[in-house]
A and B are shown apart, each in its own frame.
Chain A
Amino acid sequence: MLVGLGGVLAALGAVGASYGLERVIEPDGEMAMLSVRVVVGALVVCGVFVPATLMIDRGVMRAVGRLRELAELGERGSITGPLSMRWCGDELSAAALAWADRCEHLDARLKEAEVRERVVESERHEYEAVLHSLKDAVIVTDAFNDIAMVNEPAGRLLGFDVPGALHRPVRDVVRDDLLARQISETSKAGVVSKQKRFEHNLSAIEDGEEGIHTFDVTLACLPDEHKKVVGGVVTILRDVTREKEISQMKSDFVSQASHELRTPLSSINAYVEMLIDGEAEDEKSRDEFYQIIKSEADRVGRMIDNMLNISRIEAGIISADYEEVDFVAVVRDVIETMKPHAKLKEIMLIEKSGPLVYTAEADRDMIHQVVMNLVSNAIKYTPDTGRVTVSVENDDASRGVLVTVADTGLGIPPEAIGRLFEKFFRIDNYKRVAKGTGLGLNLVKQIVESVHRGSVSVTSEVGMGSRFIFTIPYERDI
């Protein structure tokens, strides 16, 4: 419309000019008048119409330039602050302001979208960080059974390259047939709330050793955005091998501990009843019964001490009662107590010590328990007519007293040596040889190393026997 107005003004100027020219060809008398008119007309055209036209043209040009500028700014998304549209004429200004409003609105929307995109991106990074920090293997598939997300543990376990697995069909990536089938079936079932759980054995490498591990597999359906259709499946594989092993060890322990405690209780109960019923024929038999009751009650006490002391040491609440302990005296005391047990199997129980006095600052009862556990084990795992030797000496290297319990027993298989001092650990093949709770050697280690800052070790050869050696520093470390 502005252009139209400029055009009208220019046309008026042109009419004025043509009128002047018509009069130039009339006779001389009127020539002067006509000349004046022509000049006036020209002046009017030059002085009024041309500047007006130029002014209007400049306004239009400025408005258009400003609009272009705004458009460019809007395109770059950099419109900031209020927009100035002065000197553009009313209609042009209105149009430019409407356009500017639109630009401002678009700009705000654009910024909003950018922020949202950044939030989504950072959330995605967080999810990925969580996914990759998990020890469990995680595989996420989409509605087409293609890999959508997967973490390193899954790649390691199932033997595929993680970046290369993305967007490929699950069957091509997950080589384990059962697992791949379960993922497809879960997705196919199409029930959003459906979750499957099963145990599955897979070959896995732990600490450089390959072996069959048990995994707890959970498959859960991912709903699409309308929460109605299955959009994919999340599969989580958790290695439960160690948990199962511990659980088995604990249940073995409960069963063993229960048996171990009930056996001496059975004896006590039975002999007391025999005494009550007057079934001991004479004084000698009665004395024998009293002795048995006493020794079986001591046995129960020892077992309870073993169990409680382990818990106390682990909880850090045991207080050692330090005194100068004569190790030879402790060893002799243990041998005296264990002699009847050795005699039953015709095992020679020998104490061998030098002529010196061997003392160290320690808790006497605890050292007694250590020697007792080692000697009792040696007798248990040594066949009839074997030999168990306990010796005490001073050890300059460790600046402490060194005790050795050696036997001519079954020996320990090399693969079991490393786990021998673990709580509840028992050598499978030897469970049939003798009963036990798997606590004795763990307690030995705890008392020697955790409480007394000494050390304990074992050397053994299957079929030849074992040597358990422990040292206790002469002076305690305060």
Chain B
Amino acid sequence: MAKEGYILVVDDETHIVHVVSLKLRNAGYEVRTAGDGEEAYEIVNQDPPMLIITDLQMPYMTGLELCTKLRDREETAEIPALLLTARGYALESSDLARTNIKEMINKPFSPRQILEHVQALLGDSGEQGSKAA
């Protein structure tokens, strides 16, 4: 089933990007990928996605910096994000408040869990998100 828009998956670990994209594509979502924060920022500005799934610790620009920068621009401020982090990695609530991060998912994560979050989020925001048969 075709979707309006796509999900952007950002991680410097290619295996992670690969497995998350595959899970989402198998569920019928359109997916684009980026290897670091800077690349993701450019993609979002050119073609805003309906959701961003990003790792926290990445070279050049972290996931948190990416989400903060996007929040600062009117065109991208409302794009929701899911943040992948190592468990126990403390993030200041004031830092999170300056982003549109909806959920934090601890590593090691389960692709099923990510899909559930995506479906809940896109469903909540009124977007289409039903899984293709």
Q: Which residues of B contact A344 (CB under 8 A)?
A: 14
Residues A274 and B107 in contact, CB atoms below 8 Å apart: no
Q: Which residues of B contact A271 (CB under 8 A)?
A: 15, 19
Residues B59 and A434 in contact, CB atoms below 8 Å apart: yes
Given the interface pairs A258-B86, A432-B59, the reply to whether A270 lies near B13 with Cβ below 8 Å is no
Q: Which residues of B contact A435 (CB under 8 A)?
A: 12, 57, 59
- Residue of A with least CB distance to B57: A259
Given the interface pairs A258-B88, A269-B109, A273-B110, the reply to whether A433 lies near B59 with Cβ below 8 Å is yes
Given the interface pairs A432-B60, A433-B59, the reply to whether A267 lies near B15 with Cβ below 8 Å is yes
The CA of A296 and the CA of B18, in the complex, are separated in Å by 14
- Residue of B with least CB distance to A434: B59
Number of A-B contacts (CB under 8 A): 68
Residues A270 and B89 in contact, CB atoms below 8 Å apart: no
Q: Which residues of A contact B23 (CB under 8 A)?
A: 270, 274, 279
Residues B86 and A259 in contact, CB atoms below 8 Å apart: yes
Residues B60 and A274 in contact, CB atoms below 8 Å apart: no
Contact of A262 among B19, B20, B60, B87 (CB under 8 A): B87
Residues A267 and B59 in contact, CB atoms below 8 Å apart: no
Q: Which residues of A contact B12 (CB under 8 A)?
A: 435
Q: Which residues of A contact B26 (CB under 8 A)?
A: 279
CB distance from A269 to the nearest CB of B (A): 4
Q: Which residues of A contact B5 (CB under 8 A)?
A: none
Residues A266 and B108 in contact, CB atoms below 8 Å apart: yes
Q: By DSSP majority rule, is chain A's interface helix, strand, loop, or mixed? A: helix
Given the interface pairs A266-B109, A269-B109, the reply to whether A274 lies near B19 with Cβ below 8 Å is yes
Is B22 at the interface (CB under 8 A from chain A)?
Answer: yes
Given the interface pairs A296-B15, A435-B57, the reply to whether A265 lies near B107 with Cβ below 8 Å is yes
| Binary flags per residue of A254-289, CB closer than 8 Å to B gives 1, else 0 | 010011001101111111011001010000000000
Q: How many residues of A contact B (CB 8 A)?
A: 23
- Residue of A with least CB distance to B60: A432
Q: Which residues of B contact A273 (CB under 8 A)?
A: 110-112
Q: Which residues of B contact A432 (CB under 8 A)?
A: 59-60
The CA of A274 and the CA of B26, in the complex, are separated in Å by 11
- Residue of A with least CB distance to B25: A279
The CA of A268 and the CA of B108, in the complex, are separated in Å by 9
Residues B16 and A263 in contact, CB atoms below 8 Å apart: yes
Residues B59 and A279 in contact, CB atoms below 8 Å apart: no
Q: Which residues of B contact A434 (CB under 8 A)?
A: 59
Is A334 at the interface (CB under 8 A from chain B)?
Answer: no
Contact of B112 among A255, A265, A277, A296 (CB under 8 A): A277
Residues B13 and A267 in contact, CB atoms below 8 Å apart: yes
Residues B112 and A269 in contact, CB atoms below 8 Å apart: no
Is A292 at the interface (CB under 8 A from chain B)?
Answer: yes
- Residue of B with least CB distance to A296: B15
Given the interface pairs A259-B57, A270-B110, the reply to whether A279 lies near B22 with Cβ below 8 Å is yes
The CA of A263 and the CA of B14, in the complex, are separated in Å by 11
28 A–B contacts, CB within 8 A, in A order: A255-B86, A259-B86, A259-B89, A262-B87, A262-B108, A263-B13, A263-B16, A263-B86, A265-B108, A266-B107, A266-B108, A266-B109, A267-B15, A267-B19, A269-B108, A270-B19, A270-B20, A271-B19, A273-B112, A274-B111, A279-B22, A292-B15, A344-B14, A432-B60, A433-B60, A434-B59, A435-B57, A435-B59
Known interface pairs A265-B108, A432-B60; 6 further A-B residue pairs with C-beta atoms within 8 A, sorted by A's residue number: A255-B89, A258-B88, A259-B89, A263-B13, A266-B16, A270-B111
